[in-house]
């Protein structure tokens, strides 16, 4: 991911939940017709692993 994309995500994270939802809806409207190949089992496993590691990190922060 390039620097501009990272900056966009950083700014998105700083918005209110209402603004995040509105922007997410707009983005989904724009990408719904993208020709994206289906995820492979490997893709799903890697994404799940990344998600669980992030959740573990958040959980550790609460302790």
Q: What are phi and psi of 33, to 5 degrees?
A: -100, 10
| 4-25 pLDDT, tens digit each | 999 999 999 999 999 999 999 9
Judge contact between 35 and 24, C-beta under 8 A. no
Q: For residue range 20-39, what is the model confidence (pLDDT) as tens digits?
A: 999 999 999 999 888 888 88
How long is the chain? Answer: 63
Question: What spatial distance separates the first Cα and last Cα of the chain, rounded to whole Å?
Answer: 31
Please tell me the predicted confidence (pLDDT) of residue 7.
Answer: 96
Domain boundaries, the chain: 3-62
């Amino acid at each position: 991911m390039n620097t501009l994309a990272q900056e966009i995500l950083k700014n998105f994270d700083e918005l209110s939940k209402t603004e995040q939802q509105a922007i997410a809806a707009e983005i989904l409207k724009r990408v719904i017709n993208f020709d994206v190949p289906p995820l492979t089992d490997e893709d799903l496993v890697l994404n799940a692993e990344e998600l669980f590691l992030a959740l573990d990190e958040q959980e550790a922060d609460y302790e």
